[in-house]
Structure 1
Amino acid sequence: MTVDPPIRLADPADADEIAAMSREFIEHGLPWTWRPGRVLKAILNPETNVAVIRAERGLVAFGIMEYLESDAYLVLLAVRAESRRRGFGSALLEWLEASASVAGAQRIRLDARRDNAAARTFYNEHGYHEVAINRGRYSDGVDGIRLEKWLRPANAR
């Protein structure tokens, strides 16, 4: 899927806005751990992709994906509330999945709050399967749900 404005890798100047969006849309009600310094480290890390969609009004969406030995881990993905249901999240996820595939990842894993039905539905609609419940995963006592999507069979090299 192509979006306008296009998806691009984040640069250091994006760190503050990404951190603010993480706090507002992902870490609400939790301790703020994705502060600008941590986001900047992710942007500069060669084992991590931080992708963004920017418009004239600022940051629309972002995603952070870490590359592990044979898997990729989708750390964060967020779209501004006023830009949701317009394809930005889907396009960003597909871009990150394609990047993970090119990097050789066999599967992508992610965690979502058990009480976040919208996120769980979004990922289910994109081929992710719920594989485990992590009781008390989040600091507010909410359970986490581990989701994964296989990009190629486990025995493929």
Structure 2
Amino acid sequence: MTVDPPIRLGRAADAAAIAALSRELIEEGLPWTWQPARVLRALQHPETNVAVVDAGDELVGFGIMEYLDTDAYLVLLAVRRSDQRKGRGSALLRWLETAARAAGAERVRLDARRDNAAARSFYNEHGYHEIAIQEGGYHGAVDRIRLEKWLRA
């Protein structure tokens, strides 16, 4: 049996670490749009959850979920490379999906880079389906794949 790592809501003090992980793992090769100030705004927004997982004193993963009318949008999800394949990303995703269900969301939508086969496989393994491709969707440089998962029948 696998035990999920402790997950907590993000704090303002986490903004710089979250931004750095986004830059390294999600926005690599693209303009850096999730800088600390933007992460801080997400942390403070009433319609957004930022969940984090720590290993010791260090933040090793995070997820940002926005809640819309009947959908939730997974804005970002990342786990430090050295901590991948240890269940931390899966635990973060389950936590955020549970929060989305509690908020009344019927489905979760997200976008992933077309060139990120590992992320696409991760989401497919968790029940997400690829529904659209937007060529050049990330700053005209990288294709975007839209995925979704229905939470309710």
TM over 0.5: yes
Give the letter for the 1:3 counterpart: D
| 2:109 equivalent to 1:138 | no
Match of 1:3 in 2: 4
Q: Secondary structure at the match of 2:90?
A: helix
Q: Secondary structure at the match of 1:135?
A: strand
Cα RMSD (Å) of the superposition?
A: 1.1
Match of 2:83 in 1: 83
The offset of 1:57, in angstroms, is: 4.5
Please say if residues 2 and 91 of structure 1, whose CA atoms lie closer than 8 Å, have aligned partners that are also in contact.
no
Q: TM-score, normalised by structure 2?
A: 0.96
Please say if residues 114 and 142 of structure 1, whose CA atoms lie closer than 8 Å, have aligned partners that are also in contact.
yes
Match of 1:96 in 2: 96
Separation in structure 1 between the aligned mates of residue 128 and residue 91 of structure 2, nearest angstrom: 15
| 2:31 equivalent to 1:31 | yes
1:3-152 pair list within 5 angstroms: 3-4=4-5, 6-152=6-152
The offset of 1:86, in angstroms, is: 0.3
Separation in structure 2 between the aligned mates of residue 142 and residue 39 of structure 1, nearest angstrom: 22
The offset of 1:12, in angstroms, is: 0.5
Flag structure 1 segments of 5+ consecutive residues without an equivalent: none
Q: Secondary structure at the match of 1:97?
A: helix
- Count of paired positions: 152
Aligned-pair identity in percent equals 68
Runs of 4+ in 1 over 4 A off after TM superposition: none
Q: TM-score, normalised by structure 1?
A: 0.94
The structure carrying a bigger strand percent of its residues is 2
Of stretches 57-66 and 134-143 in structure 1, the one that deviates more from structure 2 is 134-143
The offset of 1:92, in angstroms, is: 0.4
Separation in structure 1 between the aligned mates of residue 133 and residue 55 of structure 2, nearest angstrom: 36
Separation in structure 1 between the aligned mates of residue 35 and residue 141 of structure 2, nearest angstrom: 22
Separation in structure 2 between the aligned mates of residue 8 and residue 57 of structure 1, nearest angstrom: 13
Separation in structure 2 between the aligned mates of residue 142 and residue 25 of structure 1, nearest angstrom: 14
Structure 1 residues 2 and 46 mapped into 2: Cα distance closer, same or farther (>3 Å)?
farther
The offset of 1:141, in angstroms, is: 2.0
Please say if residues 30 and 140 of structure 1, whose CA atoms lie closer than 8 Å, have aligned partners that are also in contact.
no
The offset of 1:140, in angstroms, is: 5.0
Separation in structure 2 between the aligned mates of residue 49 and residue 14 of structure 1, nearest angstrom: 13
For residues 74-109 of structure 1, give each alpha carbon's deviation from its aligned partner in whole angstroms, at most 9, with x where no partner exists: 000000000000000000000000000000000000
